[in-house]
Amino acid sequence: MLTLTCPHCGIRAEETELSPGGEAHLKRYGPGDSDEQFEAYMFARKNPKGVHFERWRHAYGCGKWFLAARCTATLEVFGTYPAQVSAPPEPIIEAIRARRPGWEAGQ
């Protein structure tokens, strides 16, 4: 059972205090966009063995959504950050590279 630190309230919460929200950093497509774009947004999800970005809500705490960078194979957490960004912030990228040399964003 994971522990993740909520960047909004600073609590190192255990998984039972959180609810998962799937892949992070999706770009919404809507009216006017192509079927392919919409399909990719609505259905195509990464399922990497390794570094992954996820949405979590501190459901039994401050109620805020945050994002986590995590290794799906070892469960190592590289960092958590507020959800109000469209791409992982630089310190998170650096933390991942420090632990996973050779990793490229967008992989």
Partner 1 sequence: MSARLSRGGRLIDRRAPVTFRFDGKPMTGFAGDTLAASLLANDQMLVGRSFKYHRPRGIVASGAEEPNALVGLGQGPRFEPNQRVTTTETFEGLTAISQNHWPSLDYDIGAVNGYLSRFLPAGFYYKMFLWPRPFWKHVYEPFIRQSAGLGKVPQEADADRYEQAYAFADLVVAGGGIAGLTAALTAARAGKRVILLEQTAHWGGRAPVDGDEIDGMAADLWVKNAVQALEGMANVTMRLRTMVSGLYDHGYALAYERVADHTPGDGRPRHRLWRIRAGKVIAATGAIERPLSFAGNDIPGVMLAAAVRDFVVNWAVSPGDRSVVVTNNDDAYRTALALADAGLVVAAVIDARPSVTGDLPAQVRARGIRVLEGRGIAKVKGAKRVTGVAICAQQGEGAVLEEIACDVVAMSGGWSPVVHLWSHCGGKLIWDADASMFRPDAARPPTGDAGQPMAATAGAASGALQTAAVLADAHAAAGGEGLAPQATGPAEAPMLPVWIMPQGAGIALKSKMWLDYQNDVKVSDVQLAAREGYESVEHTKRYTTLGMATDQGKLSNINGLAVLSHALHQEIPATGTTTFRPPYTPISLGSIGGEARGEIFQPLRQTPMHDWHSAQGAYWEPVGQWRRPYCYKRSGETAHEAVNREVINTRSNIGLLDASTLGKILVKGADAGRFLDMLYTGVMSTLPVGKCRYGLMCNDNGFLIDDGVVVRMSEDSWLCHTTTGGADRIHAHMEDWLQCEWWDWKVHTANLTEQYAQVAIVGPKARMLLEKLGGMDVSREALPFMTYAEGTLGGFRARVFRISFSGELSYEVAVPASEGLAFWEACVAAGAEFGAMPYGTEALHVLRAEKGFIMIGDETDGTVIPQDLGLGWAISKKKADYLGKRAQERSHMADPNRWKLVGLETLDGSVLPDGALAVAEGVNANGQQRTQGRVTSTYHSPVLKKGIAMGLVLNGPGRMGEVLDFPVDDGKVVQARIVDQVFYDKDGEKQNV
Partner 2 sequence: MSNAVSALAGRSYSGFSTVREAGLVGMVTLRGDLESPELAVAVLAATGCAVPAQRRRTVAGDWSVCWMSPDELLLVGPYASAPGLVDQLTAALAGQHALAVDVSDARASFRVSGPKAAEVLMKLCPVDFSALEADEVRRTRLAQIAAALWTSGPEEYSLVCFRSVASYAFGVLENAARPGSELFSG
Residue 93 interacts with partner 2 (CB under 8 A): yes or no:
no
Which of partner 2, partner 1, none lies near 17, with the C-beta cut-off 5 to 8 A by kind? partner 2
Residue 20 interacts with partner 2 (CB under 8 A): yes or no:
no
Which of 42, 95, 31, 41 shows the shortest CA–CA distance to 68?
95
Residues binding partner 1 (CB under 8 A):
1-3, 14, 21, 28-33, 35, 38, 42, 55, 57, 59, 63-65, 71, 74-77, 83-84, 99
In what helix (H) or strand (E) does residue 96 lie, and over which residues does it extend? helix 90-99
Among 20, 42, 48, 60, binds partner 2 (CB under 8 A): 60
Nearer to partner 1, 14 or 104 (CB): 14
CA dihedral 37, 38, 42, 47 (to 10 degrees): -10
CA dihedral 48, 28, 65, 92 (to 10 degrees): 50
DSSP state of 70: E
The residues that touch partner 2, with contacts defined as CB under 8 A, are 8-11, 14, 16-17, 59-64
